[in-house]
Chains A and B, each alone.
Chain A
Amino acid sequence: MDFKLQTGIFTEEQNFKPLKTDIVYDVLILGGGPAGFTAAVYCMRKGVSTGLIVKEIGGQVAETAGIENYMGYRYINGMDLAMKFKEQVAQFGIDYDEKGTVKAIETGDVKKVRLTDGRVFSARALIIATGAAWRKLGVPGEDELRGKGVANCSTCDAPFYVNKKVVVVGGGNSGIEAAIDLAKVGEKVTMVQFLDRLTGDKSLEDKLHEFKNVQVRYEHEVTGINGSQSVESVTVKNRKTGKTEDVSAQGIFVEIGLVPNSEFAKGVLKLNQAGEIMVDCASRTSAPGIFAAGDVTDVPFKQIIIAAGEGAKAALSACNYILMGE
């Protein structure tokens, strides 16, 4: 048994101070993924008073098994990288809140940030770095059977599908990785892909094709998930012929990309059609003094190194706004 000890959770904890409701911060950062944590380091080094609100440490990075394209590490486990980010922030003694969830923001000279638990924080500038969450299929049965066969995390839940039949939706990297995890233990994996080809990295695709129990259905989409107590079958439709068919399966893993966590910014900031917060080249949103970075924005390519870089940029812009009124 290996122990995935994350020393970062423990050793630096005492350096964090609780976030205060009775002061106006210079900058409040929303989100603790690569964008938010990087922004925090930059703000603290600039010496502006800074608060950080983190729902889940690491964001998507903490949900990633292995990362091979973040510079400085040839390979690092996602949770470990998230902890390293947190440790680097912790050295500054930042005001910090974990598990708090932002419900609403208000513009103005002093911006307000409302959390679901009722607390309200204030700051002259905001950096929104709330990232993205799994996209849903939006088909009947998906919500009803969530946790009863409908899942996203194959490393977590693969053990439940030993010798069972599963469907994986999505032919990008996440979908291929999930199909590989499940093909190792399951009886049969049916991949459902919208396009006529897979869109993942070549190295992953090669690995996938080594499994004999994986079938890819190209140009298909899922139109329904069926079952009374738990998933029993998945309805798929051939996009060319329009023909539908029920595929017998006890589980379905939905790996079709992400939606931005921008719900609370609707009606406050300008969003694009995908719901992403629109930013200019200096990370400014449509409201003065509110900046955004990472996967929640319309910046193309959703990657850790990009989110981190954007976080740095947003922080420097926010500091300029605070220190120079720009």
Chain B
Amino acid sequence: MALFDEKIRQQLRDILKNMKDAVNLSFFTQEFECWPCTDVHEFVKELASLTDTIKLSVFDFQKDKARADKFRVDKIPAIVLNGKDNAYAGIKYYGLPGGYEINSFIQDMIELSGRKEPLPAAIASRIAAISKKVHLQVYVTLTCPFCPGAVAVAHRLAQESAMVEADMIDVSLFPYLGQRYQVTSVPMTIINETHSLVGVQPMENILDVIKKL
């Protein structure tokens, strides 16, 4: 059954016209699809069918291990978003970008296609100064209206710095991770396993934590 109805399909087509260059989506699943994988597979297929600027590749998490390692995918379902050169940009979705998360996903694609506002100079120079590897995990639920804000900030950081990678994780699909990091409120951003921030935080606050790492 189609995930998008005709109205959403048309709205998405209009929005995706704003994309400048192509964007590569790599979807990781497995041969016998896990139940959430089926939905996410359908999602990326329907999305890619809306415009030529989205290039979709589908990988088997186990058989295509080399590719999974290259994009640092460690669980499924996973979507990796890269720009037109398909170089690893550090932007991932673990789970379906459904509910409110569709908005962060579309925003990521438009920005990765090369259409984005420059960041204020003071922030850009702080990002340029990041010298350690940083891993951001943003835990969300799909019914949370402001979670896309936290995902957008983390993913923008990943776009701007080769040192940063950032995941959106639907906590309802990965309850063991929710337990490990004691997520009881979303959005929650885990920084390098050791630090956590609750709520939608401005980029400066995340940069403050990164500086202390």
Hey, which bits of chain A sit against chain B, CB under 8 A? Answer: 1-7, 9-11, 13-14, 18, 55-56, 62-63, 65, 78-79, 99, 101, 116-119, 146-151, 153, 155-160, 229-230, 250-251
Contacts and interface: CB of A to CB of B under 8 A. Distances in A.
10 contacts: A1-B98, A6-B103, A14-B18, A62-B146, A101-B202, A116-B204, A119-B122, A147-B199, A155-B143, A156-B185
B149 A56 contact: yes
Contacts of B171: 159-160
B110 interface: yes
A1 B3 contact: yes
A157 to B, nearest CB: 5
A10 B145 contact: no
A121 B39 CA distance: 47
A10 B99 contact: no
A7 B14 contact: yes
A295 to B, nearest CB: 18
Given A117-B123, A159-B141, A2 B186 contact: no
Given A7-B15, A157-B184, A147 B198 contact: yes
B15 A159 contact: no
A321 B64 CA distance: 67
A156 B107 CA distance: 21
Contacts of A118: 122
Q: Which of A10, A63, A229, A230 has the most CB of B within 10 A?
A: A10
A160 B4 contact: no
A62 B100 CA distance: 11
Interface of B: 3-4, 8, 11-12, 14-15, 18, 39, 96, 98-100, 102-103, 106-107, 110, 117-118, 120, 122-123, 141-147, 149, 153, 171-172, 178, 182-186, 188, 196, 198-200, 202-204
Contacts of A18: 117-118
Given A3-B102, A146-B198, A117 B184 contact: no
Given A9-B103, A10-B18, A160 B149 contact: no
B186 A156 contact: yes
B41 to A, nearest CB: 13
A263 to B, nearest CB: 15
B107 A5 contact: no
A181 to B, nearest CB: 10
A146 B198 CA distance: 8
B182 A148 contact: yes
Nearest to B188: A147
Given A7-B15, A160-B171, A230-B184, 15 more contacts: A2-B99, A9-B103, A11-B18, A55-B202, A56-B200, A101-B202, A116-B202, A117-B202, A153-B185, A155-B143, A157-B184, A157-B185, A159-B141, A160-B185, A251-B184
Contacts of B183: 160
B65 to A, nearest CB: 29
B90 to A, nearest CB: 20
Contact of A99 (B103, B145, B198, B202): B202
Given A10-B107, A151-B185, A153-B144, A4 B99 contact: yes
B141 A5 contact: no
Contact of B141 (A63, A65, A149, A157): A157
Given A10-B107, A18-B117, A146-B198, A1 B185 contact: no
Contacts of A157: 141, 144, 184-186
B111 to A, nearest CB: 11
Contacts of B141: 156-157, 159
A147 B183 CA distance: 7
A9 B12 CA distance: 12
B106 A10 contact: yes
A192 B24 CA distance: 51
B15 A11 contact: yes
B92 to A, nearest CB: 19
A79 B202 contact: no
B11 A155 contact: no
A168 to B, nearest CB: 15
B102 A78 contact: no
Considering the complex of A and B, which 9 residue pairs feature the smallest CB-CB distances, nearest first? A147-B198, A156-B144, A1-B98, A10-B15, A147-B185, A3-B102, A151-B185, A160-B184, A4-B100
Contacts of B102: 3-5
